[in-house]
Every structure is written in structure tokens, then in C-alpha cells.
Amino acid sequence: MSVERGWVTLEGTANSKFQRTSADDAVRYLMGVKGVINLISVKQPAINPSKVKLKIESSLRRATDLEAANIKVEIQGNKVVLRGNVRSWAVRSDAERAAWAAPGVGQVEDNLTIAA
């Protein structure tokens, strides 16, 4: 971490997007901070696609209840692709959060549409 003229630069690696975001949040609102340049990268451990898919689908069932059946989860390397129709922005956000929370996920492609 370095600070120059009120700008904080964060560098290093984190195990998850949550940790990267938490580091940003920890300094962003401190007095005197004008902005944050977050250069923290997320480690990309090898993932077991079937375990990650199962974890995400289980999380979706807990978070979105009835909507989980409408969401298809695909694993492409360390990327998760979400497809399907959901009823609200809140459900879409919950699905994306569930995907990011799975271990080893480095990217989430959210192709969910909100049904009218």
C-alpha cells in the first residue's frame, strides 16, 4: 500500500473478490482519503468444476429459493457463467454474489435477464 496526495494504492493478492473488496472498503472512507486505486489481484487456485458448480447451485437455492431452478450455472476454467431468467434485480445480484463466493472463481459472466 502506498499513499500519495490522498490517493491510496493497494497492491498484492487476495484469495477472493470479497477480500479484495474488503481491503478497498477498509481504506476508502478514512479521513483524508481522496480515492483508492485497487491493484489487488485475486489468486486463481485450481478449482474442481463440479464442486464449484454444486456449491454455487446450493447457495442459489438458499439465496433465491424458487428462482434457483431458472438459473443455469456453467464453469469455464475459473469463470462462472450464469444464464436464465429471474424476477428482479435483487435476485440477479444474489446469484452473482453466490457465484463470486465460490472458491477459486476469478470471473463471473452474468447473462441473467430480468423477466418482465
Same domain, 93 and 108: yes
Same domain, 12 and 64: no
Residue 52 has a pLDDT of: 79
Residue 86 has a pLDDT of: 87
pTM listed for this prediction:
0.59
How far, in Å, are 22, 35, 43 from residue 25 at the CA level?
A: 5, 11, 19
Residue 66 has a pLDDT of: 63
Q: Model confidence over 31-63: pLDDT tens digits?
A: 999 999 999 988 766 667 787 778 777 877 776
Same domain, 8 and 34: yes
Residue 87 has a pLDDT of: 86
pLDDT < 70 regions, the chain:
44-47, 63-67
- Provide CB contacts within 8 A for 44, sequence distance 6+: 78, 104, 106
Same domain, 23 and 71: no
Same domain, 32 and 84: no
Helix axes 17-28, 89-101, angle to 10 degrees: 110
